[in-house]
Amino acid sequence: MLFFYVRHGDPTYNPDELTPLGHRQAEAVAKRLSLYGIDKIYSSTSNRAYQTAVPTAEILKKDIEKLDFCNEGHAWRELTVVTENGRKWAFQDEDTRKLLLSPEVLALHDKWYTHPGFKENNFEVGLKRVAKESDQFFKNLGYEHIEGTGTYKVLNDNNDRVALFAHQGFGLAFLSHILDIPYPVFSMHFDTTHSGVTVIEFKNEDGISVPKILTLSNDSHIYKDGLPTNYCNYLRF
């Protein structure tokens, strides 16, 4: 199986929808994915993610199945911190970033959220929710997560190409769990851009699959269509 994780296009968050640029990004990624061929299309229940998925579904004549556990509203309540300047993702707040990268937190590995510095936060609740729902999602696709090993038991070997259109904040927790990379490490060292495509291969090796990222947040479709290749509208490559 090849799994495609696609972050939504350039958005407005209130109202929850794509900007004109975001719609063009969605059309660009649809042309790219239609060349690959996608067998199943899933989307977060947020409007911006669904709007990003629509052009791909239209070209390939596929239905879109919505998954509420991917909605970033849930992750926003669980994986953020309240600061003097408002609520921020844990990986964006300067003080929290320092703690996430501290030797004490990193030494706790996948139980990092038990550090006393996080006792007022909902990180444990959020990560366990994402883990439970993600594992059920992949089990339905034919791959049962053997948590903590970086491997999956192959229940139904297949060559399906599956796309999920969702978010950055949710996605960093989702991808870190899929790969069994502790969230502090993944969220601090990796990121995704608007309409970026992450491809993960689930290869069957004697009944076990070790998911491998083949490309992370690739935006070649943006370049091909002559759209601005700015990372999240602020860093020009």
Q: What is the pLDDT along the chain (237 residues), one digit of tens a residue?
A: 999 999 999 999 999 999 999 999 999 999 999 999 999 999 999 999 999 999 999 999 999 999 999 999 999 999 999 988 899 999 999 999 999 999 999 999 999 999 999 999 999 999 999 999 999 999 999 999 999 999 999 999 999 999 999 999 999 999 999 999 999 999 999 999 999 999 999 999 999 999 999 999 999 999 999 998 888 777 766
pTM for this prediction: 0.97
Length of the chain: 237
In angstroms, rounded to a whole number, what is the distance separating the alpha carbons of residues 58 and 62? 7
